[in-house]
Amino acid sequence: MLVSEREQLRDNIEAWVAQYGANRSSLIPVMSEVQQKYGHISEYVMQVVADILDIHPVEVDSVVSFYSFLGHKSKGRFIVRLCRTISCEMQEKDRVARQLENDLGIRFGETTPDGHFTLEWASCLGMCDQGPALLVNERIYTHVTPEKVHDILEECRGTFGVYRPNAQTMMNIQDTDTSEMTFTGVDGRDGLDKAMKMKPEGIVDAIGESGLKGRGGAGFPTSLKWKLAAEMDDEQKYVVCNADEGEPGTFKDRVILTDFPDLMFDGMTIASRAIGANKGIVYLRGEYMYLRASLEEKLVKRRQDGLLGSNVSGINGFDFDIEIRMGAGAYVCGEETALIESLEGQRGEPRNRPPFPVNTGFMGHPTIVNNVETFAWVPCILVKGSSWFKKIGTEKSTGLKLFSVSGDCEKQGVFEFPLGISIHDLLKEVGGEDAKAVQVGGAAGYCIPAGQFDRAISFEDVATGGSIIVFGPERDMLAVAKNFMEFFLDESCGQCTPCREGNLRLFEGIEMLEEGRCSMKYLKDLRQLGESMQVACKCGLGQASPCAFLSIIDNFNDEIMGRVSAAC
């Protein structure tokens, strides 16, 4: 690299640091800018960034090596990422993969000799209802077929423009036979106006009366989280929206971010009023980069309308603004403490708890982390009333919930159902009555066989963050288990031994089952290992990673044992 080029590179880095802040938390945004502009992160870049941020180059290298969207190896002008999770697998992504390799003349993980294309797998692109899905730089393609591959690549070689939304990749909201989605009939501004007339503790009480629990899957009471943060004596507090929707089979947040972002922003603003925060951050997954521009436009409009910035909604002294920060490709950052670590410019490794984010969160300050859907329900509850929300669902699982439905059913998309709905009734609504199994909760959830379809989808029975994957009569459930284990092998942060080593052993066991080499005794040993992982792993990812495997070997034992290998 010439001296002038190095000087220009340093100038660019200094400008990005000035944009994102001269502190460690700007590390990942700056590295992402370098990756996007130069195609890779060189040793020189790491030295310069380390010098500017006053950290060691080894720390920079550690972060770069952790995230899949960052790397030292030079990549092509166009990075082609094909989703390989189960919903796309069921829609023949393997044929698309073969055609990509044929047309590009390379294998996955390689770059074409002319430096134009890099071909990679993606863990999940959030387009499970419209697969197979393909992400090329910041543009998403859905319903990809082998026949379409050539045209997509030619478009890249020709004039590859900015992302142009098209209907099939944006809206896929399914109204049920009896009602339409609540979000379509609620003006979030009304909820915000109502909240601004309430005392902060009154807001917390109203959300508490509704019984709202976190819609990301954990089901922690929203009002309790807010109350604990509000009670902390700290002048600096944060409201963080977890938009790192990476669970295979889940795409409901994508629809909210696309079509109802103001509800989410209103919910964040209401939360800031409730706990006394002055800064909000949306942690948007890297695979949703194409949504960033439209979200930034919404934020600009809200500032112009007095809904963000100083004296929000005309309330003297109520200052609150929202910033969007991008993830860099790590499923584990959906865990709230790993997300905070990522925001602080660290590897996305979960923290030990306690302390909890509500007292020691982002940059050591009180922080609430809620997911996109949770924030969107807040203004709806204030507009329609806590009692409206509470009377829907069950006693312990109140309200409505968005479900991402994909797989072997007539209607795929986002549905709104009351919590407590039975799996049987949900399948009837989506045209999947002949299913032999349903995966509730994505890769981290449980595989429910047809004999248990009377079970309720609720926090007290079968809990879910929203993912519903339907498997028809002809699906090979061992292949399903293998796909999920491949996902966890790829996405485990490797921090704790039970997760790092345990998932590998479970995957090897699935391969033995495929080849007909697994004894019943060894299968019992694998079951014991999976159960140990559920209590020994450090975070929710590791604890949930054996769930699909365990439920499949329990419920489909007759299908997976005694297989005859194709080599026999």
- The secondary element (H helix, E strand) that includes residue 206 is helix 200-210
Q: Check residue 169 and give its pLDDT.
A: 45
Closest CA relative to residue 559, chosen from 505, 502, 516: 516
Q: Residue 30 and residue 400: Cα distance in Å, rounded?
A: 39
Q: Check residue 1 and give its pLDDT.
A: 58
Q: Check residue 199 and give its pLDDT.
A: 96
The 446-449 sheet, strands edge to edge: 173-174, 413-418, 400-407, 467-471, 437-440, 446-449
Q: Check residue 413 and give its pLDDT.
A: 93
DSSP state of 242: E
Q: What's the full length of the chain, in residues?
A: 568
DSSP state of 130: G
- Secondary structure tally for the chain: helices H, strands E: 24, 14
Q: Check residue 566 and give its pLDDT.
A: 58
Q: Check residue 173 and give its pLDDT.
A: 62
DSSP state of 445: S
Q: Check residue 170 and give its pLDDT.
A: 45
Closest CA relative to residue 487, chosen from 289, 330, 290: 330
Q: Check residue 558 and give its pLDDT.
A: 87
Tokens of 454: 């009377």
* Class of residue 196 by CB neighbours under 10 A (exposed 0-12, middle 13-18, buried 19+): middle
Alpha helix ranges (H) inside 180-260: 188-196, 200-210, 222-230, 252-259
Q: Check residue 159 and give its pLDDT.
A: 59
Average pLDDT of adjacent 10-residue blocks, the chain of 568 residues: 81 95 95 92 95 95 95 92 94 96 97 94 93 92 94 82 41 57 87 95 98 92 97 96 94 94 97 97 95 96 96 94 96 94 95 93 97 97 97 96 96 95 97 96 94 96 94 95 93 88 94 92 94 91 92 91 68
Q: How many CB atoms lie within 10 A of CB 314?
A: 8
SS3 321: strand
